[in-house]
Structure 1
Amino acid sequence: MLCSLCGTRPVGSADVRCAVCAGAADAGRGRAWAGSPGWAPASPRLDQLRSPVGLAKAVCVLLGAVAVADVLSIAAGVHSRMLLADGLDGGFLSVDEGAWTRADQLYRLAGLLQAYTLLATAVVFLVWMRRVRRNAEVFDPSAHSMRPGWAVGAWFVPIGVLWLPYRVASGVWAASVPVEGDGRRPAAPRGLLNAWWAALIVDKLLSQGAGRFYADAETGDEIVRGLDMVAVCDALDIGAAVLAILFVRRLTAMQSRRAHLGPVPAVPRPVQAH
């Protein structure tokens, strides 16, 4: 059984935490850090950390399922497009009605699979985000511009959803960077964080537009064009899912590493002259 805090080391004989995390919790309650004289805990609440490892694995599996559903949707859309395009040579009515009905049902079924996998992924992702946000509050309360509740609430704000969740994730990212031996935190590259968020927003906006175009299509040419647009968006969704997996894995690893380090030496503050 792994530690309930860091999720990386086996638990002790009489606790649900490993020896390192248990020592950090003791230090947070004012007791000495065993074997490290002169060291002070980075936060008096290290015993409040909860491992995000299990949730991260679940999120990654579900994101993989989303990508698989996107692939099936692309395949069903290509089949429908080919069937419809062949019939357009002699007019839309020349398409075999039974074949088109089956193709359309298959395409709709793929769409339902996409919706269900996306919903399940969103729920688990929000639980994971709430977990890492709470851990980040322990690591560094000053790294955040928004309160912990926004880790979930930001995703439900109309228009604000385009940037508020990124602000939350940015604070979590900054607070989760493992500290150096002197207690200072180096700057963390944000390329992966920015790429994930940009892909998510572009995919969201384009998918909404493509979905509306396909739903309103009436002629055969419009339906073919709509199928092409949706297929492109499905491909973008696969890319966004891959970046999301990398983001979840990286942030989870950062927090596991940060929890593994335990207490860090206090950084001396400059004395101001009176």
Structure 2
Amino acid sequence: MGESKLDWIPSAALGSVPVNHDDAIAISPPAPSTEGEPLFVPRAMTTVVVAALGVCVLVNAALLIAQLRFLRAADGSYAAVQREMWVGNLTGMRLLAFLVTGIVFLRWLWQMRVNAEALAPRGHRMKRGWTTGAWLVPVACFFLPKRIINDIWAASSPPDRPRRTDALLTSWWLLFVAAQLLAFPSTSRGPLSTEMAGAALYVLAGVLGIGVVRRLAAMQRVRLHG
């Protein structure tokens, strides 16, 4: 049978290890960035991203509790008015937490992409600018960022198992997208049941997101430093 161009990784990279699964990419030892950026795993920023995601988890958990308390309050009562105010305040806090988390996460992800390009120069299906831009495109933001992260994940994974996805990564993304569809972070509120489901999904997505950040950072640290 004939071999495609990607059936074998050059011997200089992996000693002619056969690669025949759909998710494989050609991974080589770390090479200097073509644009001269430093290659490193930002430990401090990784900690900040994990902490920011932790805050999002706590805020959404508090919002879910406030929504449950509001649901149980008698209509028109003083307790209902107070609890509704708490729901509104926590919804605003969630928006602020998401904005801060988004900023630090995208800065962290950019460095992950720089590192990944050095590990797999031809393993990325989209230009680097989409690392941040893909999150801003309506509708496309539900699948393009995952495509980019998949490529970073594959470049950062062990050379003998260069797969573009992982159960943890996929579960996080599905929960994150479902939460966005149910309760997009804003100061406005929809049906309470939908908001409660969205808050619960954001809690789960946040916990898995912490795992994704920690694992990706650990994989790149091993690939870059051995």
Aligned residues: 195
Q: Which amino acid aligns with 1:196?
A: W
Q: Distance in 1 between matches of 2:216 and 2:201?
A: 22
Rg larger for: 1
Q: Distance in 1 between matches of 2:130 and 2:51?
A: 25
1:195 aligns with 2:171: yes
Q: Match of 1:141, SS? A: coil
Q: Which residue of 1 is the match for residue 18 of structure 2? A: none
Q: Measure how far apart 1:49 and its partner are.
A: 0.2
Q: Distance in 2 between matches of 1:257 and 1:76?
A: 42
Contact preservation (8 Å) 1:48, 1:138: no
Instruction: Evaluate the alpha carbon distance shift between residue 44 and residue 230 of structure 1 in structure 2; reply closer, same or farther with a 3 A threshold.
Output: closer
Give the alignment of 1:1-274 within 5 angstroms. 42-45=30-33, 48-84=38-74, 87=75, 95-96=76-77, 98-179=78-159, 185-188=160-163, 190-208=166-184, 215=190, 226-261=191-226
Q: Distance in 1 between matches of 2:104 and 2:114?
A: 15
Instruction: Evaluate the alpha carbon distance shift between residue 240 and residue 81 of structure 1 in structure 2; reply closer, same or farther with a 3 A threshold.
Output: same
Q: Measure how far apart 1:54 and its partner are.
A: 1.8
Q: Which amino acid aligns with 1:175?
A: A
Q: Match of 1:143, SS? A: coil
Deviation sequence 1:137-186 (CA, Å, 0-9, x none)? 1111111001111111110111111111011101101111233xxxxx42
Instruction: Evaluate the alpha carbon distance shift between residue 117 and residue 42 of structure 1 in structure 2; reply closer, same or farther with a 3 A threshold.
Output: closer
Q: Distance in 1 between matches of 2:220 and 2:202?
A: 27
Q: Distance in 2 between matches of 1:42 and 1:249?
A: 20
Q: Distance in 2 between matches of 1:47 and 1:236?
A: 37
Identity of aligned residues (%): 30
C-alpha RMSD over aligned residues: 2.3
Q: Which residue of 2 is the match for residue 270 of structure 1? A: none
Question: Gapped runs of 5+ residues in structure 1?
Answer: 1-39, 88-94, 180-184, 216-225, 262-274
Q: Match of 2:161, SS? A: coil
Contact preservation (8 Å) 1:76, 1:106: yes
Q: TM-score, normalised by structure 2?
A: 0.79
Q: Distance in 2 between matches of 1:111 and 1:169?
A: 28
Q: Which amino acid aligns with 1:57?
A: T
Q: Measure how far apart 1:51 and its partner are.
A: 2.1
Q: TM-score, normalised by structure 1?
A: 0.66
Q: Match of 1:142, SS? A: coil
Q: Measure how far apart 1:257 and its partner are.
A: 0.4
Instruction: Evaluate the alpha carbon distance shift between residue 255 and residue 143 of structure 1 in structure 2; reply closer, same or farther with a 3 A threshold.
Output: same
Q: Distance in 1 between matches of 2:193 and 2:166?
A: 33
Q: Which amino acid aligns with 2:31?
A: S
Question: Gapped runs of 5+ residues in structure 2?
Answer: 1-27
Q: Distance in 1 between matches of 2:70 and 2:43?
A: 41
Instruction: Evaluate the alpha carbon distance shift between residue 42 and residue 50 of structure 1 in structure 2; reply closer, same or farther with a 3 A threshold.
Output: closer
Instruction: Evaluate the alpha carbon distance shift between residue 65 and residue 41 of structure 1 in structure 2; reply closer, same or farther with a 3 A threshold.
Output: closer
Deviation sequence 1:233-274 (CA, Å, 0-9, x none)? 11111000011111101100000000112xxxxxxxxxxxxx
Q: Distance in 1 between matches of 2:133 and 2:37?
A: 26
Q: Distance in 1 between matches of 2:154 and 2:195?
A: 36
Q: Measure how far apart 1:99 and its partner are.
A: 3.3
Q: Distance in 1 between matches of 2:56 and 2:90?
A: 11
